[in-house]
Amino acid sequence: MKQLDEEKIKYILSSLDKLEYGCVVITVHDSEITQIDITEKKRFPLAKNKKLEVKK
C-alpha cells in the first residue's frame, strides 16, 4: 500500500472516531480516493412539554 493511501485511511478512521452522528462520503476516481466529505449532525433530545417563547 502506498504511503499516501495510508494517510487517507488514517484520516478516514480518525474522522469516524470523532463523529457521533453524521456521515463520511468517500469519492473515488480511477481507483483513487480523491475527496472525503464529512457531515456532522447534532441531535437534541425532544422536549414535548416545552414551548419556545418568541419575543415580538
pLDDT by residue, tens only, the chain of 56 residues: 567 789 999 999 999 999 999 999 999 999 899 999 999 999 888 877 666 677 77
Which H or E element spans position 35? strand 32-40
What per-residue confidence (pLDDT) applies to 43?
A: 86
What per-residue confidence (pLDDT) applies to 51?
A: 66
pTM over 0.75: no
List the chain domain ranges. 3-40
In DSSP terms, 40 is beta-bridged to 22
For residue 26, give every residue at least 6 positions away whose Cβ sits within 8 Å of its Cβ, in sequence order, or none.
12, 33, 35, 36
